[in-house]
Every structure is written in C-alpha cells, then in structure tokens.
Amino acid sequence: MSAAKGGSGPICLAILAILFLSSGVAKAQGLSWPDLDYAWKVLTLQSYNARLVILSTTLLGVTSGLVGTFLLLRKRSLMGDALSHSTYPGIGVAFVVMVLLGGEGKWLPGLLLGAAATGLLGVLMVLAIRNTTRLKDDAAMGIVMGVAFGFGVALMRMVSDLPSADAAGLNSFVYGTAASMVFGDFLLILVVTTGVAFASIFLLKEFTLLCFDEGFAASQGWPTFFLDLAMLGLVTAVTVVGLQAVGLVLIIAFLIIPATAARFWTHDLRGMLVLAAAAGGMSGWLGSSLSALFSDLPTGAVIVLVAASIFLMSMLFGPARGVVPRSLRQARLRRKVGRQHLLRAAYEILEGQQPDVAEPIRNLPIAFDSLLGHRSWSIQQINRLLRTARTEDHLEVAGSDRIRLSEAGFGEAARVTRNHRLWELYLIRYADIAPSHVDRDADLVEHVLDAEVVAQLEAELQDRPSSLEVPPSPHFIDQPANP
C-alpha cells in the first residue's frame, strides 16, 4: 500500500518530462501548441474522437499491465512479442477469406479474429517446440516470431497484388491507427479488456502458483498446461485488440513496461498488479492525450514513450528495487558493518587487556596502533570509521593517539560482540565449522541479526555460561594447553 501511495511522485515527474520533450519536438518540427480551448476539450474528454481513443487506450493499458505482470513473473516476456508477430499473417488470411466470401475484406472483427487464430497457433507452436525438444523458451519464441512475421510480410505482399481486392491500409496494423477508431472499436475493446481483467482476478491464485512454482502446482494436481494456455489466451486477447491502437510492433512494450515498472515499487503480487495496471492506464491516457494535442505524433509511439518514462522513474526511485533506494540501503549497510567491526575490534582489544574473564570488562583507553593492527584496515579506512563513530557518539578522544568508547559505544560494542559470539557458537555446534575458521562465516550474517534471531540462538545455547553478559570467544575452546 505504501508503494502505491509513493508512486504518484515519479509518475508526475514522468508527465512533466513527456510534456517537456513534446515541447522540444514540437519546436524542432515547427509545430505550434494547440489552443487552450481545444486542449481543455481533449483533457476533459469533450472531443468525441479523442474520448474514444483515450478511453480505449486507457482500458488497454490497465489490462496490459495485469496480464503483463503474469508474463513477467512467468519469465516469458518475449512470448508477447512472438504472439504479436504471429498475428500478422492472420490479418492477411482473414482478408483473403472475407473477400472470397463476397465481403468487404476490411471488416475489423473479422481481421482481429484471423489475427487471434494465428496468434494462438503461434503460441501452440512455441509450447510444442519447448515440450517436444530440448530448446528453451527463448529459442522457441525467436523461431516462431521470425517465421510468422516473415510469412505475414510475404502474404501481405501477395494480398496487395490481388486485382479484385483493395488491401490498402492493412499494413497499418504494424504501427497502429488509433485515430481511425469508431464507437464499435471502443465497444470491442471494452468487452475484451473487461473480460480479461475479470479472468485475471478470478484465476489470480492459480496464476500465482503457476508463476512461482510450476513443479509444485503439477505435483498438487493442478492442470498447469491448461492454466498456461489460459494465461497465454488472455495475452492473445489483449494483443489482438491492441493491434489497432499501438500496433503489433509496440504492443509488446505495452505488455511488459508497466509490469516491469511496478516491479521496482513492491514485492507483493497484488500490489504489483495494481501498480502495473495504474502505470499502463496512465501511459495510455497521457500518451493518447499528447497524440491528440499534437496531431503529427503517432499514438502508439507516444504511449510507449510515456510508459518508458514511467519505467525510468521507477527504475531510479522505486523503493523496492530502485537504483537510488538500493544504493542508499547498501551505503547504510556498509556503514553499519564498518561501525560494528570497529566496535567489536575495540571490545576484543579491551578483553585482551583484561585476561581475567571473571571480572567485568572495563572501558579503558585504546591505543590507535592496536586498533589499526587488529584488522586489515588501511589508514584511510580506519580514519573514516573513526569519524563515523564520533559522529554517532560511539567514541571519545582520550589523547593524541588514543581513543575511548563512549557509554553508548561501549554498550553497543558489548551487544555486537555478544551476537557475534552466539552465532560463532551456533555454527561450531550445528554446522560443524572449525573454531579457527568460524569467524569469517559468522561475519557474513551477524550484521543482520534481529532480536528474535538472537533469542533463538540463546535458546539453542542454553548450556553456555549464563553469568557472562558476553560469552567468551570460541576460537580457543578445547585448544590444547602449551607444554
């Protein structure tokens, strides 16, 4: 939920970026901005043609975000590309069939039905190649995509040479012709996208299981093959109805970009579905609005550019996987690791100065040279760690070449050392790691121990000396005494 609330900022930045870019393109091409009255009619959906296009592409974007999420999690992003290219020959076949039956040949539902048929055939071919050979999904999809599109190009060339048929305009399905939409096209998109959305929600549990653990689903008796076909059938439906809006070349971007943008914001599937639908709907609405304001800008291309802007902002600022938040988390973790290493080194030096384990450790000044030699730190590294520790009120200056742990720093050093020793003891006992090698293994995980894990470690190690706040180092346990 927090991810959904935080998504408005980058989306607004994406809108401003697109407006700025469109302004630059308009100036470069000598285009003028539309008057305010027309812009207001477009933005408030008062213009009939703009309303049809904007609503159609918004519905298409929302549904594309939903089914594209399943494609992404299923690791079949290229399946949409193979499917969209497989629809191209179906348009030519449907045109020829309708002409031979005495029809017009350009009846849109008939063309889309032909596109759906060859699209499903392409999907079945991909599944057949994958299931009957040792080829992977990417190879199967690449083969089907190339062959289908090549066949479609050859077929369209043959259709254009028919003397008794007018095939002009069929190639527009490659890039989309959203401006030519009529009310019947909008109704078709509304019915198909609504059905796909309800089917995606109804099969959410099954699709989730299929995406994350297909083997487990099959072992539990789920019909994974038919669920796979159902998922790809929904993708086919969205692809086919989106041909007129964005074209078969760009529909794959409409399917994948909103889902990948949402992936940067959340780790929750339901939240990802909501964010992907929102990103897709925003891309369709804003892209078609810009295309309506600037008539020379193609609708499909602008929609994809808007989606790409949202993706870029998500990639940079998404809290779950964004570049900037991830870099900040890594920087905080490095700072935490360095601080804990410094405090543990200081505590271990204090232990070495007081060999009598029966007495509590006293917080004495520590020589800078002993701290430097305790670990393989360089002068620059130790100075940086000391500056950070002073900033966090963990150290006090005790002289020109001596430091001293503050009260808070001494308590934190004892806690860090205690957690490290507990984890070392656990690894020695249950992982059968030699005491001389356990320090490095414990060092890999000790920095992410929380209170619950520490309590579990203490429960597992109940026989340790309970009178000691910090258990002794296990490196010298059971070592033979020197003669």
- For residue 340, how far is the Cα from the chain centroid? 32
Report the range out of 25-34, 40-49, 183-192, 446-455 with the highest average pLDDT: 183-192
Q: Which CATH class is domain 2-321?
A: mainly alpha
76-86 tens-digit pLDDT:
777 777 888 88
Greater confidence (130 vs 455) lies with 130
Cα distance between residue 396 and residue 298, in whole Å: 66
**Is residue 164 helix, strand or coil?**
coil
Is the predicted pLDDT of residue 172 greater than 80, yes or no? no
- 366 phi, psi to nearest 5 deg: -120, 130
pLDDT, the chain, mean = 78
Helix 451-460 with 407-430: angle, nearest 10 deg: 50
Give the helix/strand (H/E) hosting 397: strand 395-397
| CA angle, 68 then 284 then 80, to 5° | 30
Residue of higher predicted confidence among 439 and 128: 128
pLDDT in tens, 109-146: 888 888 888 888 888 888 888 888 888 877 888 888 88
pLDDT bucket at 2, cuts 50 / 70 / 90? very low
Question: How far is Cα 242 from Cα 251, in angstroms, rounded to an integer?
Answer: 7
Average pLDDT over residues 234-259: 83
Q: Examine the pLDDT at 358 and tell me if it is beyond 70.
A: no
Alpha carbon separation from 330 to 45, 312, 336 (Å, rounded):
46, 21, 10
Q: What is the pLDDT of residues 296-337, one digit of tens each?
A: 677 888 888 899 999 999 999 989 888 999 999 988 888 888
CATH architecture assigned to 327-463: Orthogonal Bundle (1.10)
Sorted by where each begins, the domain ranges of the chain are: 2-321, 327-463
Q: What is the per-residue pLDDT across 30-69, written as a single tens digit (0 to 9) for each?
A: 455 666 777 777 777 777 778 888 888 899 999 999 999 9
Q: What is the pLDDT of residue 327?
A: 92
Residue 483: its pLDDT value, please?
38
Q: Are 373 and 406 in contact (CB under 8 A)?
A: no
In this prediction, residue 262 carries a pLDDT of: 93
pLDDT of residue 92 exceeding 60? yes
pLDDT tens digits along 94-104: 888 887 787 67
Residue 403 φ/ψ, nearest 5 degrees: -130, 165
Mean pLDDT highest for which of 180-184, 245-249, 273-277, 291-295? 273-277
